Amino acid sequence: MRKLTGTLVMGMLFVSIFMFASSDKPASNLRADYDGLAMTPPMGWYPWNTFGQEPQNEKLIKEMVEALLRSEMREAGYAYIGPDEGICFYRAENGKLTTNLERYPSGLRGLGDYIHQRGLKYALYTDAGTHTCSKAMPGTKGHEFEDMRRFAEWRSDYLKIDWCNTKGQDIVQTYTLLDEAQRGTGRPIVHSLCSWGVGEPWKWAAAVGHLWRTTGDICEPGKADWNSALEIVFANEKLSEYAGPGHWNDPDMMIVGMPGLSEAQNRSLFSLWCLMAAPLIAGNDLRQMSESTRQILTNIEVIAVDQDPLGIQGHIIRKDGQVSIWGGKKLFDGSQAVLIFNQNNSPSQVTISWEEFGFSREASLYVRDLWKHQTKGPITKGLTVTVSPNDVIMLRLSRSKEFPLPPIISADTYLISLRSNSSRPEKLSASLTIHNAGTVDLPLWKVHGPLPPWLSVKMTKKGGKQIINNQVNTAGLNPGYYHTIVRLDNTEPISKRPMSAFYYDVELEVK
Ligand code: GLA
């Protein structure tokens, strides 16, 4: 964590100057309008909380990819994975960022291909200043355009941009320049701003990024800290009005499942992250995860609250001593998510009334317990529950007995590689499958924008899956290498909200 009070003041000053200077910018100008990304909070895994800088390397990331697949976290929506400040690259004499091959022998592009082939998306890390925090890697200052091109060449899908070693830099101008440089590459990349709340990014960063850290680091690497996590929760809670589809408050990567936390604490933190529509970036060692942690991280009913298409960040509606009652989170089907969090060291009895959550007192509601996976009801007026110490009760309240789950999307690959060895025109094809762990039946995905003349794409449905068939015709193509990024769009049918754009790479080699 960087405690930068001086920088904070300077940052706030710059923010107000910038906001005044650009007051003609419409408030609805979102970075996500440009690329359709992160319409629900990004999900994935990042190494920092458990490992710090050591021993981050290609082997560790690949082991974590395999552990993520084994644990079925991919099907639960976790997608973005890659090194954090893992000494991945240096700046060569020609000014180009170059892979540290000792740590990443396949090259950073090779690692990206591996991650894409496994049906995951590739996350990388950089810094907006002269160097990254430990100074072990170069920052982007003065190299914004060439570095963003490099991250695109490495086929990154997510970029965390830290704010260390930025003395004298204007935070808004810096992140705006990086956004411009990144857009110029044509590769869709989720931009994750990491200034730990410096410069109040929630006030301006939606135009230049998809998420921004709201606080300092949740823990020192390897040292999960329940109290520091709760400080972050209560700071992030105050910012609920700033979050929404494509622009999220980020209370940091999760510590769920790290040593030192009880099962109840893990369940509480995960529920709080989901009620706050926070990015769900796991930070525990997935290779040694207990079954209880795995079940917490993959509880699809709780994830559905986080991934709700309305993208509302819930907040505290009432506090009763050490018990907080969270609501304000209307969900896509008209139901409401409710969280009761007990910070006492003894069980607490709590009564909630339907009125507190926007229903009439006499409403007849069904109550779904998202941890017990049980529905009760119909019940009028309200409910009395007992919450265990440091634990939560998480509910959905609805007039209907059905509790549909919104789309939670994963795919078996994000990279289609085809090769034609013939000198005559050839027809080649390869498919990928999009899975939906939600219960809402999705319409067919639609191709966005024109495809190159050598590629056509057709969709078919099979149960909850959609098969995306890519057909390539090499007629008229000269020998060479061809690459395109396909964008597919869809709309969630109940809320009619646009879903995150689905992108994948198609490459073709013609001999
Ligand atoms: C900052 C970030 C952390 C991590 C480290 C790397 O402290 O907030 O999440 O990326 O840098 O040095």
The upper half-sphere exposure of residue 111, i.e. CA atoms within 13 Å in the direction of its Cβ, equals 30
Has residue 2 got a pLDDT over 80?
no
User: What pLDDT digit, counting tens, does each position of 100-158 carry?
Assistant: 999 999 999 999 999 999 999 999 999 999 999 999 999 999 999 999 999 999 999 99
Give the model's confidence band at 306: pLDDT under 50 very low, under 70 low, under 90 confident, else very high.
very high
**Mean pLDDT score of the chain:** 94
Percent pLDDT > 70 in the chain is 95
Does the beta carbon of 84 lie inside 6 Å of ligand 1? yes
Atom 3 of ligand 1: nearest residue by CA position: 217
Pocket test for ligand 1, best of 7, 45, 46, 48 (most atoms within 8 A of CB): 48
Number of helices (H), then strands (E), in the chain: 11, 26
Has residue 3 got a pLDDT over 80?
no
User: Model pTM?
Assistant: 0.94
CB 376, CB 467: distance < 8 Å? no
Tokens of 303: 């994830």
For residues 65 and 15, the model is more confident at 65
Q: Which residues contact 186 (CB under 8 A, 6 or more apart)?
A: 152, 485
pLDDT of the residue at 463: 85
pLDDT of the residue at 28: 63
User: What pLDDT digit, counting tens, does each position of 390-438 carry?
Assistant: 999 999 999 999 999 999 999 999 999 999 999 899 999 999 999 999 9
92: burial class by Cβ within 10 Å (0-12, 13-18, 19+)? Answer: exposed
Has residue 86 got a pLDDT over 70?
yes
Query: Separation of 67 CA from ligand 1 center, angstroms?
Result: 23
Backbone angles phi, psi at 492, to 5 degrees: -70, 125
Does the beta carbon of 134 lie inside 6 Å of ligand 1? yes
Find how far residue 508's CA is from the centre of its chain: 30
Query: Separation of 252 CA from ligand 1 center, angstroms?
Result: 10
Catalytic residues: 162, 217
Indicate which atom in ligand 1 lies nearest the CA of residue 2.
7
Query: Separation of 221 CA from ligand 1 center, angstroms?
Result: 9
Does the beta carbon of 162 lie inside 6 Å of ligand 1? yes
Does the beta carbon of 250 lie inside 6 Å of ligand 1? no
